[in-house]
Amino acid sequence: MDYSTNEMMTVAASRAVSNDDVCFVGIGMPSAACNLARLTHAPDITLIYESGTIGTKPATLPLSIGDGELCETAVTTVSVPEMFRYWLQGGRITIGFLGAAQLDRFGNINTTVIGDYHNPKVRLPGGGGAPEIATSCQEIFLVMKQSTRGFVKQVDFITSLGHGPTGRERRELGVTTKGPSRLITDLCIWQTDPETREFVVTSIHPGVTREQIQDNTGWTVRYADQVDETPAPDATELDALRSLN
C-alpha cells in the first residue's frame, strides 16, 4: 500500500490517543493526528483548540485556531481566559499535542528564535499557549519531522518546558504533570526513559534504518531494549486522513 512518510507519521501519532482523551490540539500535524483518531478508533475523543472551541469536529483540517469551522462544529466555545484557567490549569486536559521548531532529547521546545536571542538568525512565531500547555496538560505528545536542524543537542531557547536542560529541572521546579512522554516522527517513535527523562526509540517505521535515525538526530540516539516495527497505515486510516485535506 502506498503512503508518504508524512502519512506514516500522522497515523502513528493518531494511534497514541484514546477514545477517552481530552486533547489540547496544536495546528498542523497535531491537528491532523487528533482528527484522524476521531474519524477512526476514537470517535468520542474531545478535541480542544486554543481559541476556546471544545468538542470540535471539523470536516477539513483548520488553517489556524481562528478557523470558523472549529467554532461551527464545536459542542461549545468558551472565552480564552476560561479555556486556560478552568480547563487547562484546572487539570482537565489529558493530552497536549505539540510540535516544535527545535527539540532536544529531554523534550524542551523552542519556537522563539534560532541562534542568539538578542541577535537571532531566525525569529520564530513564539510560544502562543504552548508553554502553558506543556506544563498544565497531564501528558505531552510531540509530533514533528526528524532532521538535525530540528533535533538538536541543546535548543537555542526554551519556549516550552520539557524536562529541562538536564532532565531534572521539571521535577525540581515542582511541575507535577508528566510532561513529554512520546515523540512521533516520520522515521520512528520515541518514548521517555522514566529515570533519565530523555527520549529513547521504541519503534521504527517500515523501511527506516537505525543509520537514518542517527543521521537525522543531533544527539546520540538511544534505543529501548525491545524495538518494534511500527505497523504500516491501513486503508481505513489512509482514507480517513486523506478525506481531511
Q: What is the pLDDT of residues 165-206, one digit of tens each?
A: 999 999 999 999 999 999 999 999 999 999 999 999 999 999
Q: Which of 7, 50, 132, 198 does the annotation list as catalytic?
A: 50
**What is the pLDDT at residue 166?**
97
For strands 223-229 and 199-204, give the pairing.
Answer: parallel
The stretch 136-146 carries a mean pLDDT of: 96
**Distance (Å, whole) CA 39 – CA 57:** 9
Q: What's the whole-number mean pLDDT along residues 4-18?
A: 97
pTM: 0.94
Beta strands in 44-138 (DSSP E): 46-48, 53-54, 76-77, 95-98, 102-103, 109-110, 113-116, 119-123
Domain covering 5-243 assigned CATH 3.30.230.80 in the classification: no
Kindly state the greatest CA–CA separation across the chain. Answer: 49
Instruction: Note the pLDDT tens digit of each residue in 61-107.
Output: 998 888 989 999 999 999 999 999 999 999 999 999 999 999 999 99
Q: What is the pLDDT of residue 128?
A: 87
Task: Provide mean pLDDT across the span 198-227.
Answer: 98
What single DSSP character describes residue 160? B
Q: Is the pLDDT of residue 213 over 90?
A: yes
Residue with cell 537505525: 210
Query: In the chain, what percentage of residues exceed pLDDT 90?
Result: 91
- Confidence check: pLDDT of 245 > 90: no
**Could you confirm whether 50 is annotated as catalytic?**
yes
Q: Which residue has the higher pLDDT, 122 or 66?
A: 122
Q: So what's the pLDDT on residue 66? A: 86
Q: Which three cell numbers, joined as nine digits, stand for 90?
A: 484546572
What tens digit of pLDDT does each residue of 25-64 get? 988 889 999 999 999 999 999 999 999 999 999 999 998 8
> What pLDDT does residue 26 have?
84
Residue 151 predicted with pLDDT over 90: yes
